[in-house]
Copies of this chain bind each other. A is one copy, B any other.
Amino acid sequence: MSKLIGNAVVGQSGGPTAAINATLAGVIRGVRENVHDGSIPRLYGMHNGVEGLLEERLVDLTEFFADESKIDDLEHTPAAALGSCRRKLPKMGENDAVYEKLLEIFKKYDIRYFFYIGGNDSMDTVAKLSAYTKGHDYEMRIVGVPKTIDNDLVVTDHTPGFGSAAKYLAVTMQEIIRDCAVYTTKAVTIVEIMGRDAGWLTASAAIGRGVNGIAPDLIYLPERNFDMNEFFASVRAALEKHPNVVVAVSEGIRFADGTYVGEGTQSGVVDAFGHKYLSGTGKALELAVKAEIGCKVRSVELNICQRCAAHVASAIDLEESVAVGRAAVKGASEGVTREMMTIDRISTKPYAYKIGHNDIDLIANQVKRVPDAFINAEGNNVTDACVEYLLPLIAGEVSPKYESGLPVHVIID
Interfacial residues, chain A to chain B (CB-CB below 8 A): 12, 16, 48, 51, 77-80, 83-86, 167, 170-172, 174-176, 178-179, 181-184, 207-208, 210-212, 255, 259, 261-265, 267, 269-273, 275, 277, 280, 283-284, 287-288, 290-291, 298, 300-305, 307-312, 314, 391, 394-397, 402-409
Contacts and interface: CB of A to CB of B under 8 A. Distances in A.
Contact of A211 (B16, B174, B271, B406): B406
Contacts of A179: 16, 78-79, 304, 307-308
18 contacts: A78-B175, A79-B179, A79-B181, A170-B405, A170-B406, A171-B406, A172-B309, A178-B409, A211-B405, A262-B271, A264-B269, A264-B270, A265-B267, A267-B269, A267-B290, A273-B287, A275-B291, A300-B305
B300 A175 contact: no
A215 to B, nearest CB: 10
A247 to B, nearest CB: 14
B265 A174 contact: no
A404 B309 CA distance: 19
Contacts of A167: 405
B407 A391 contact: no
A175 B310 contact: yes
Contacts of A170: 405-406
A127 to B, nearest CB: 23
A182 B83 contact: yes
Contacts of A83: 181-184
Contacts of A406: 170-171, 174, 207-208, 211-212, 394
A311 B85 contact: no
B395 A404 contact: yes
B259 A272 contact: yes
A271 B290 CA distance: 14
A88 to B, nearest CB: 15
Contact of A184 (B51, B174, B212, B311): B51
A90 to B, nearest CB: 20
A280 B271 contact: yes
B280 A48 contact: no
Contact of A182 (B80, B208, B405): B80
A273 B300 contact: no
